[in-house]
Structure 1
Amino acid sequence: MTRATDPARALLELLWRHELPPRSGGRGPRQTVSVDEVVAAAIGLADREGYAKVSIRAVAAELGLRPMSLYTYVPSKDALTMLMVDAVAREDAPIPAELPVRARLVAVAQQIRDEYLAHPWLFEVPAWRMVLGPGRMRRYERHLAAVDGAGLDDIDMDRVIAVLGQFATGNARTALAAARSAREQSDADWWEAHGPVLEQVMPAGEFPLSSRVGTAVGELYQAPGDPDGDFDYGLQRLIDGILPG
Structure 2
Amino acid sequence: MPTDGNPTEQAARIVRLLWRHSLPAKPGARGPKPGLTVDAVVAAGIALADREGIDKLTIRAVAAALDVRAMSIYTYVPSKEALLVLMVDAVAAEDAPIPADLPIRDRMIALAAAIRAELLAHPWLLEVSPWRQVLGPARMRRFENQLRAIDGAGLSDLAMDRAIAVLTDFATGNARLAVAAAGAADQLSDADWWRVHGPLLAEVVPVDDFPLASRVGATAGEHYQAPADPDGAFAYGVATLVDGILADHV
TM bin (shorter chain) = over 0.9
The amino acid that maps onto 1:82 is V
Which one of the candidate residues 121, 124, 128 is aligned to 1:121? 124
Alpha-carbon RMSD:
1.7
Partner of 1:216: 219
Matched, 1:234 2:219: no
Are 2:42 and 2:86, in contact at CA under 8 Å, matched by a contact in 1? yes
Give the Cα separation in 1 of the matches to 2:45 and 2:242: 36
Give the Cα separation in 2 of the matches to 1:169 and 1:15: 24
Matched, 1:12 2:26: no
Give the Cα separation in 2 of the matches to 1:223 and 1:82: 36
TM-aligned CA deviation for residue 27 of structure 1: 4.0
Matches for 1:69-80 after TM superposition, within 5 Å: 69-80=72-83
The alignment partner of 1:184 has SS state of coil
TM-aligned CA deviation for residue 22 of structure 1: 2.2
Matches for 1:1-245 after TM superposition, within 5 Å: 5=5, 6-27=9-30, 30-243=33-246, 244-245=249-250
Give the Cα separation in 1 of the matches to 2:94 and 2:29: 31
Length, aligned pairs only = 242
1:178-224 Cα deviation digits (max 9, x unpaired): 11112122234434543454233203333322222222212221112
Give the Cα separation in 1 of the matches to 2:65 and 2:26: 27
TM-aligned CA deviation for residue 111 of structure 1: 0.8
Give the Cα separation in 2 of the matches to 1:215 and 1:19: 56
Are 2:194 and 2:227, in contact at CA under 8 Å, matched by a contact in 1? no
Give the Cα separation in 1 of the matches to 2:103 and 2:129: 33
Give the Cα separation in 1 of the matches to 2:124 and 2:196: 32
Give the Cα separation in 1 of the matches to 2:112 and 2:145: 12
1:71-97 Cα deviation digits (max 9, x unpaired): 111111111110000001111111122
Structure 2: 5+ residue stretches without partners: none
Q: What TM-score do the two structures reach when normalised by structure 2?
A: 0.91
**Percent same amino acid at aligned positions?**
62
TM-aligned CA deviation for residue 112 of structure 1: 0.6
The amino acid that maps onto 1:132 is L
1:29-76 Cα deviation digits (max 9, x unpaired): 513112111101100000000011111111011111110111111111
The amino acid that maps onto 2:175 is A
Assess, with a 3 A threshold, how the Cα gap between structure 1 residues 24 and 75 changes in structure 2: closer, same or farther: farther
Give the Cα separation in 1 of the matches to 2:155 and 2:149: 12
Assess, with a 3 A threshold, how the Cα gap between structure 1 residues 124 and 158 changes in structure 2: closer, same or farther: same
The amino acid that maps onto 1:23 is K
The amino acid that maps onto 1:219 is E
Q: What TM-score do the two structures reach when normalised by structure 1?
A: 0.93
Give the Cα separation in 2 of the matches to 1:35 and 1:183: 35
Q: Single out whichever of 191-200 and 135-144 deviates more from structure 2.
A: 191-200
